[in-house]
Amino acid sequence: MQKNDKQNIVLTGFMGTGKTSVGKRLASELNRKFVDTDELIQERQGISIPEIFRQHGEAAFRKMESDIARELGQQEGLVISTGGRLMLDPANAAALSQKGRVFCLVATPQEILSRIKKDKEHTRPLLEVPNPSEHIVELLKERQQGYNRFQKIITDDKDPAEVTSHLLDMFREHPKRISIDHPAHPYDYVVGSGILPFVRQLAEVPGPLVVITDTTVNELYGQSCGEVDHIITIPVGNQHKTLATVQDIYDQLLDIGFDRSGTIMALGGSVVGDIAGFVAATYMRGVNLIQCPTSLLAMADTCIGGKTSIDLARGKNLIGAFKQPSVVIADIALLQSLPHREFISGMAEVIKHGLIADSDLLEKVINGDWHTEAATLHTSLFELQALVAQAIQVKVSIVREDPMDRGIRFSLNLGHTFAHAIEQVSGYTIRHGEAVAMGLVASVNLSARLGHCGADLQQRLETVLAGVGLPVRIPGLSTEELLKAMENDKKRVGKINRFVLLGKIGQPFTADNVDTRAVIDTLKEITTSSD
């Protein structure tokens, strides 16, 4: 990866969030050259921005911005404060991301208005309207998704000096590398913030690099992956985890002449990871793979361990291959744009890892503020990075011991026999993570019922789950149908009535021939009635 002392720092964000004020301070602290794209344009045109808008129109101003983005994208060691909309143009973002770490300053509309009113030095043509307050809200709404692509820094309760120091801490924080010493194929898991543009450098990819992603992730991050050669986009959703999608990807790879010298980068959640991983395992008997998980579920769980799979009409995950990536690169900043429901779904697997092996991880979950409102995580990206790294560590240790899934790795299925049945019987309206939360409660309830742990463990677990907003009861599903779904699942894995149970936190074990009556009683106890 490019060294920090050369990497440009690029500031984006809405008008009045402090890009210029903070940028100047940063440059002086780091002893770097400061460039403000608005000021540069004014200097070159010899007139002010409102005058440029008046004489030449907004389109001409945007063209000037694009030219400057391309020009500055080639330089190094700068602090660049960009115009409020400049980085929302994907081509500008791609140009400036190549050699730069991007940070997005954010503030509430009220704070923006109050700052702008006080700022007599500048006029902002877009806010020269009868009701600027309303217009700020409208513009912010329009631009929200665009800004969500970048690592955010909330500035409301900090003055420019504090924002500068916080930003410097983030800039200096290095990604963490966790080694996964798979017997046949050791690789690193790199977890950091704002690292997506540097995947090629971090993964040390020399040849062609093709991204496989879905349409949603592509819209958000397709342009922020640094130097990639081609992007293949697949439709969003589990229903596309099919051989038809795989066939379509093979065809596109053949069309561009992709061969065994190339690398596939899976950019997305678990579905993308499964599909792209399967393609990488099979195309021309296997090509290099980088996993870049973008959801919490994929980061903390599914991207580790090398399992890839495709569904058939007759069942989920019936086709697959083990395919270890050459590296996993998880950019925590991407979690900022994850919908809240997806974020807490991923938390269910983090909590599962805590139950299996690490009570300190559970404490971290309890003590953090993991709510996301208006696409703004309450917690800092530092805390989130630490949490994800710790959750990964649990899975890494287990997979290290049992890479081929023949023994202890089964403990990662804690709660999953129940969860798969809950998902299936709900017609997949309940998300995987939500079903895992219910499944964890069921497993602990069953463990207590069979005398393996105290009843207080269920209470403790429910407090953790409910604290992050996860469900702790099964909503009105038929016990009979759940039991039937569980039996089918068991037949598939070839073991009847095998469950992962818990002695206490950190002590999972496998129990065979669990009494069906106890399972029924557990299901009944934690299912709420449908009326």
Ligand X SMILES: Nc1ncnc2c1ncn2[C@@H]1O[C@H](COP(=O)(O)OP(=O)(O)OP(=O)(O)O)[C@@H](O)[C@H]1O
The residue type found at 105 is L
Q: In the complex, what is the shortest distance from the CB of residue 125 to ligand SKM, in angstroms, rounded to a whole number?
A: 5
Q: In the complex, what is the shortest distance from the CB of residue 148 to ligand X, in angstroms, rounded to a whole number?
A: 17
Residue 160's binding partner among Mg ion, ligand X, ligand SKM, none (Cβ under 5 to 8 angstroms by kind) is ligand X
Q: Distance between CA 252 and CA 32 in Å, rounded?
A: 44
* Contact set for ligand X, span 21-60 (CB under 6 A): 21, 38
Q: In the complex, what is the shortest distance from the CB of residue 81 to ligand X, in angstroms, rounded to a whole number?
A: 6
Residue 49's binding partner among ligand SKM, Mg ion, ligand X, none (Cβ under 5 to 8 angstroms by kind) is ligand SKM
Asked if 125 is part of the footprint of ligand SKM (rule: CB under 6 A), the reply reads: yes
Alpha-helical (H) ranges within 57-148 are 58-73, 90-97, 109-118, 132-147
Evaluated on CA atoms 402, 199, 346, 320, the torsion sign reads negative
* Contact set for ligand X, span 128-167 (CB under 6 A): 155, 158-160, 163
* Contact set for Mg ion, span 20-39 (CB under 5 A): 20
**Nearer residue to ligand SKM within complex by CB, 125 or 208:** 125
**Nearer residue to Mg ion within complex by CB, 19 or 241:** 19
Asked if 233 is part of the footprint of Mg ion (rule: CB under 5 A), the reply reads: no
Q: Distance between CA 157 and CA 148 in Å, rounded?
A: 20
Residue 294 marked in a binding site: no
Q: Are strands 176-180 and 187-192 parallel, antiparallel or unpaired?
A: antiparallel
* Residue-by-residue DSSP string for 460-472: HHHHHHHHHT---
Quick one: which of 423, 201, 223 has its CA closest to 311? Answer: 423
Task: Give the full edge-to-edge strand order of the sheet including 176-180.
Answer: 176-180, 187-192, 327-331, 288-293, 263-268, 209-214, 230-234
Q: What distance separates the 2 farthest-apart alpha carbons in the chain?
A: 83
Residue 172 marked in a binding site: no
CA 151 → CA 35, 212, 221, 480, distances in Å? 20, 22, 12, 47
Residue 38 marked in a binding site: yes
**Termini Cα distance of the chain:** 57
Question: Residues in contact with ligand SKM, total (CB under 6 A)?
Answer: 9
Asked if 473 is part of the footprint of ligand SKM (rule: CB under 6 A), the reply reads: no
Residue 18's binding partner among Mg ion, ligand SKM, ligand X, none (Cβ under 5 to 8 angstroms by kind) is ligand X
Q: Distance between CA 523 and CA 531 in Å, rounded?
A: 17
Q: Distance between CA 188 and CA 195 in Å, rounded?
A: 15
**Nearer residue to ligand X within complex by CB, 18 or 403:** 18
Q: Distance between CA 185 and CA 134 in Å, rounded?
A: 56
Q: In the complex, what is the shortest distance from the CB of residue 123 to ligand SKM, in angstroms, rounded to a whole number?
A: 9
Residue 84 marked in a binding site: yes
Binding site for ligand X (CB under 6 A): 13, 15-21, 38, 81, 84, 115, 118-119, 124, 155, 158-160, 163
Binding site for ligand SKM (CB under 6 A): 15, 38, 49, 83-85, 124-126
Chain residues binding Mg ion by CB under 5 A are: 19-20
What residues form the annotated binding site for Mg(2+)? 20
